[in-house]
Structure 1
């Protein structure tokens, strides 16, 4: 199935918090956009070599428009600055949606958001609340003014924790005692996610679900040479330590889709037919990695001497 890609019109640009803008995107002719599920993100193609991923944070039932929210990062790589320069009426190339952070059915949920990490959790909360599940949200930010969508989050299930007045999220208190039957969904800065992972190590397997905005640190062997076999054509390509599988395949003239090239967006996910994967992405969970069925070819490699891919 071909992935949706089109030029969408920016219908509105509104401040969502200090340094955060919310954009509403729609088709120029008003036709429905593709369906999506909570946790999904889209690519914004902002220029040559400038592709960024943003979580959809509107309502899944609204097929006429998509909403994203973007934090300005002036010292970043240019994506957020470009988004913040967009005005209503302009068009932007969009690809997706895709979802590597889906909601798993459960009776109880614990949501943890840090800053702009609230965006994928908003539609999740709506969905689980509509299903009658028990849920709770802890939402931390630098200040109340910097925390987006607080007006959409109300009630005794929501705990807003601005750092300037309340300090940081007390993860020891929140996660210190495992809660069997409760799923934890977390999104935010890498430091927060690493701390959440550490505290959830004693929780039942499969309890924790994360989405990262930046790739996790990879330690150990920088890599070795190996071969990649493209099953559909029978070609065998050598992959050297200084090149990724994605770069090697592209250089050989084979069309493969990629976006972030950092192992965080899932665009380059590829089926593995044979061989042992050295997973280095920030998308797959432990169970998915152990299955040895798919890999992100932009960063992951081979533990042995050969991989056979369904390409």
Structure 2
């Protein structure tokens, strides 16, 4: 469901990064959220973009997000930077959480650039619970790294700021070379950083590493290259998905209303319950045990392993 919220504040928090505060126009309470959650911003010009909530989760009246200007993006971040002002109304979907903070005695948080945003409420939660944690935070330059100064001021030696122009690439071998069974690693940032962290964590226990991606993981060919049927259970309609269209396009063509954002399998906005059948999971959101359950799928990129799927639409 999409609700209309008002931009109550907009501020520059780093070079190329603005933070927006969102409130209900009539001062109402907003839905609760947990660390790792994101919302979908439905912009007045029609695009949908997802952004991690990075404010105070205990404030029931305000959402806060931070938006990096993407010079080579699809235009959504430029619109946020150039057109949105306090007092403007925007649609908001969610919050949703595909990057939850699981219980652990110790955490190692690794951020690259704007990837710091989902980690901010995680750090706050770890502090509240009295957990041991450290943050390794890299970026192009110190001036481009949002919230770096306030993190260092609040948490001292727990925070390790390492701009690339001063220190080079993050020294992941030193941080991740020795597996720690009692530690969970959370990483968000650009694809090269995630690939390097995954390689460095190869000898760590299963599920010790959790990541959130901005770009999709490269996938191989689909399981099948022939048409299959999708039955929309609540609508009572059957649609045929041919190799040249996505499941999302097919169900939308049948009249199903599905909110989407990235349409690349990275945000999970179009995650939909599956009642029957086995999806061919091709997203970058679900983890192994979620895929094995076969009870949901990301419609924009995933397909079917068999002749028929039943979706709760």
* Superposition TM-score tier, normalisation by shorter sequence: over 0.9
Please tell me whether the aligned partners of residues 114 and 187 of structure 1 are also in contact (alpha carbons under 8 angstroms): yes
Quick check: 300-309 or 73-82, which moved more? 300-309
For the Cα contact (< 8 Å) 2:222–2:280, is it kept in 1?
A: no
Counterparts of 2:56 and 2:248, CA distance in 1: 34
Give 1:79-228 correspondences, 5 Å limit.
Answer: 79-85=76-82, 86-154=84-152, 155-221=156-222, 223-224=224-225, 225-228=227-230
- Do residues 310 (structure 1) and 308 (structure 2) align? no
- 1:228/1:124 Cα in 2 relative to 1: closer, same or farther (>3 Å)? same
Structure 1: distance between partners of 2:104 and 2:288: 19
- For 2:259 and 2:12, how far apart are their aligned partners in 1? 33
Deviation at 1:222, TM superposition (A): 7.9
Distance 2:24 2:238 in 1: 42
Contact 2:41 2:92 in 1 (8 A): yes
On the 8 A contact 2:223/2:305 being kept in 1, the answer is no
SS of 1:215's equivalent in the other structure is: coil
| Cα deviation, residue 307, structure 1 | 1.9
Q: TM-score, normalised by structure 2?
A: 0.93
Instruction: Tell me how far 1:33 sits from its aligned partner.
Output: 1.5
Residue 238 of structure 2 is aligned with which of 230, 236, 239? 236
Q: Tell me the SS of whatever aligns to 1:82.
A: helix
CA shift digits 1:234-290 (9 cap, x unpaired): 533221111111111111223333332221221221222222221111111111112
Tell me the distance in 1 between the aligned counterparts of 2:199 and 2:66: 28
RMSD: 1.6
Aligned to 2:296: 294
User: What is the distance in 2 between the residues matched to 1:309 and 1:99?
Assistant: 21
Matches of 1:257 and 1:223, distance apart in 2: 26
Summarize deviations over 1:154-175 as a string: whole Å, max 9, x none.
Answer: 2111110100001111122221
**Aligned match of 2:71:** 74
Which shows bigger deviation, 214-223 or 194-203? 214-223
* Equivalent position SS for 1:156: helix
Counterpart Cα distance in 2 of 1:54 and 1:233? 31
Q: Which moved more, 1:87-96 or 1:9-18?
A: 87-96
Gaps of 5+ in 2: none
| Secondary structure of 2:65's aligned partner | strand
Alignment size in residue pairs: 308
Query: 11, 15, 24: which one pairs with 1:14?
Result: 11
**CA–CA distance in 1 between the matches of 2:56 and 2:210?**
21
Say whether 1:252 aligns with 2:254.
yes
Q: Secondary structure at the match of 1:281?
A: coil
Contact 1:222 1:241 in 2 (8 A): no
The residue number in structure 2 matching 1:278 is: 280
| Cα distance in 1 for residues equivalent to 2:293 and 2:215 | 24
> Do the aligned partners of 2:272 and 2:297 also contact (CA within 8 Å) in 1?
yes
Cα contact 2:223–2:280 (8 A) shared by 1: no
CA distance in 2, matches of 1:263, 1:246: 11
Judge conservation of contact 2:177–2:200 (CA < 8 Å) in 1: yes
TM-score under structure 1 length normalisation: 0.94
Tell me how far 1:63 sits from its aligned partner.
1.4
| Secondary structure of 1:194's aligned partner | helix
* Gap change, CA 1:29 and 1:308, over 3 Å in 2: closer
Q: 1:275 to 1:79 in 2, by over 3 A?
A: same
Ranges in structure 1 where 5+ consecutive residues have no aligned partner = none
1: CA distance, partners of 2:61 / 2:140: 33
Deviations 1:207-240 (A, max 9, x none): 1111111222222348522222233455332211
Deviations 1:46-70 (A, max 9, x none): 1454110111100001112111111
